[in-house]
């Protein structure tokens, strides 16, 4: 990668604006785009009208995200007419879909750059071509490329950071488009991961979240024989690092050695994100998830036995094709049995080129929404009750800054992932402190530093 392609006049420094859709992987991709732009002299702005470069980093997991991209691109036409030198770029998962890039260019001909998930590291080169040659650039790489190390990252936080340990997915759940847009599983070398984390710690970072579409598959394809549990134990030995989290785990691949690593390693937080998607074995089979309801519950039981204070979170899809009322009730009963601390809940969204899109027995939207509301009500009731159990307890919190809703209070999270807003010493921002919980809210805890 040539980072000397563009040299900006510092007296007239250009600004860029990035809008990110989707998951934590997309967030980290945007941090890298920001890092590359800052390295060549640009600065970030939160006001797109002030920007000379506007980037939409897209998601295609759900139709709603795509519709937002189309709507926001339409609004840029006036900005482009007002400032012909404005560079508009669209990238990310949505661009990897068949025919999508051409559709974007046809509908929004004022877009200057389109690229996909596998070649984002080349963005400075594309920008240079647009600015120097006045051309329109469209470059979508269909096959995943080798992992490119050393890309600069402009991280949102100076306390917590995402570190990707692997890319892609091999699971092909019938509802999911990720394997088609992110490619097959590729693991980063452990020494590169360790080096990145050590550098972050030297810069003052306290908490790392390891990312991968399926972190439990880590190690496949590497020359060195290493698995995810071994990597976790190595990371736990890094001096100065306070906390480690990870996501996402696929239930079919979460092994006991990973559970024991969480139990044994003092820096690994007692939090497990374990997407279930459905509580019905029949629906799970149709989803191609490779586990049953019973196997999932047995795994949960094992985790709770080894890690008593674990915080459980999950993903659940409502209204998958063929889901009956009885199937949905099985999801509700599983939620009540596991007692999640929070859950990401989704109404099934049809995605072209996925097997589920071709399935018969698509569920009526009204039925989907009614079931979704019942599920959310059930989860919220459980979360509120579990939060109530924290009242009077003292918990460890990493102080992240001031509360968004009340600047006189501090905010942070417990090891199990609970959000805590509390009164305390502002000099402790960036430190681990003990907080006594005085009141439980529906989605957070309130307390005072002790």
Q: Which residues are annotated as a binding site?
A: 23, 59, 93, 169, 173, 176
353: phi > 0 → left, psi -120 to 50 → alpha, else beta; which?
Answer: left
* Backbone torsions φ then ψ of 236, nearest 5 degrees: -60, -20
The owner of tokens 């809210």 is 441
CA 331 to the chain's CA centroid: 24
How many Å apart are CA 44 and CA 314, to the nearest integer?
A: 33
What does the chain come to in residues?
450
- On whether the CB atoms of residues 170 and 184 are closer than 8 A, the answer is yes
Of the candidates 170, 160, 182, 163, the one whose C-alpha atom is nearest the C-alpha of residue 232 is 163
Q: Could you count the other beta carbons within 10 Å of the beta carbon of residue 374? A: 15
**DSSP 8-state class, residue 46:** S
- Give the tokens for residue 144: 């995943």
Q: Which residues fall within 8 angstroms of residue 215, CB to CB, at 6 or more apart?
A: 165, 166, 228, 246, 247, 248, 249
Q: Which long-range contacts (CB under 8 A, 24 or more apart) does 62-70 make?
A: 62/346, 62/349, 62/351, 63/349, 63/350, 63/351, 64/349, 65/21, 65/22, 65/94, 66/94, 68/21, 69/21, 69/94, 70/107
- On whether the CB atoms of residues 272 and 249 are closer than 8 A, the answer is yes
- On whether the CB atoms of residues 69 and 94 are closer than 8 A, the answer is yes
- Give the tokens for residue 166: 């692997």
Binding residue ranges for [4Fe-4S] cluster? 23, 59, 93, 169, 173, 176
Q: Tell me: cis bond preceding 248? Omega within 30 of 0 counts.
A: yes
**DSSP 8-state class, residue 42:** -
SS (H, E, C) 372-405: HHHHHHHHHHHHHHHHHCCCCCEEEEEEEEECCC
């Amino acid at each position: 990668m040539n980072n000397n392609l563009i040299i900006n006049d510092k007296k007239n420094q250009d600004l860029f604006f990035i809008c990110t859709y989707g998951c934590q992987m997309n967030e980290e991709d945007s941090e890298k785009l920001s890092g590359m732009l800052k390295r060549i002299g640009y600065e970030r702005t939160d006001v797109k009208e002030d920007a000379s470069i506007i980037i939409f980093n897209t998601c295609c997991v759900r139709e709603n995200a795509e519709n937002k991209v189309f709507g926001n691109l339409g609004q840029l036409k006036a900005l482009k007419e007002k400032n012909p030198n404005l560079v508009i770029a669209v990238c990310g998962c949505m661009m990897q879909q068949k025919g999508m890039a051409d559709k974007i260019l046809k509908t929004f001909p004022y877009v200057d750059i389109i690229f996909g998930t596998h070649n984002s590291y080349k963005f400075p080169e594309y920008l240079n071509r647009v600015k120097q040659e006045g051309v329109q650039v469209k470059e979508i790489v269909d096959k995943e490329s080798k992992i490119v190390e050393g890309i600069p990252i402009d991280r949102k936080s100076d306390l917590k950071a995402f570190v990707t340990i692997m890319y892609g997915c091999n699971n092909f759940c019938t509802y999911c488009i990720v394997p088609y847009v992110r490619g097959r599983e590729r693991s980063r070398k452990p020494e590169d991961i360790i080096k990145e984390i050590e550098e972050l710690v030297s810069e003052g970072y306290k908490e790392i979240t390891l990312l991968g579409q399926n972190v439990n598959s880590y190690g496949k394809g590497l020359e060195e024989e290493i698995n995810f549990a071994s990597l976790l134990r190595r990371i736990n030995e890094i001096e100065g690092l306070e906390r480690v989290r990870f996501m996402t785990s696929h239930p079919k691949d979460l092994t006991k050695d990973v559970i024991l690593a969480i139990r044994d390693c003092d820096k690994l937080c007692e939090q497990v994100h374990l997407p279930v998607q459905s509580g019905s074995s029949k629906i799970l089979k149709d989803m191609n998830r490779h586990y049953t309801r019973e196997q999932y519950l047995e795994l949960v039981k094992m985790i709770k036995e080894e890690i008593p204070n674990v915080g459980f979170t999950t993903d659940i899809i409502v209204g998958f094709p063929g889901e009956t009322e009885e199937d949905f009730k099985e999801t509700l009963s599983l939620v009540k049995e596991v007692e999640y601390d929070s859950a990401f809940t989704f109404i099934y969204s049809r995605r072209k080129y996925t097997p589920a899109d071709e399935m018969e027995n698509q569920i009526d939207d009204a039925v989907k929404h009614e079931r979704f509301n019942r599920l959310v009500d059930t989860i919220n009731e459980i979360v509120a009750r579990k939060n109530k159990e924290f009242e009077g307890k003292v918990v460890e919190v990493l102080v992240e800054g001031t509360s968004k809703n009340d600047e006189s209070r501090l905010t942070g999270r417990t090891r199990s992932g609970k959000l805590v807003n509390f009164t305390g010493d502002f000099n402790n921002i960036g430190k681990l402190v003990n907080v006594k919980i005085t009141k439980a809210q529906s989605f957070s805890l309130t307390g005072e530093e002790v």
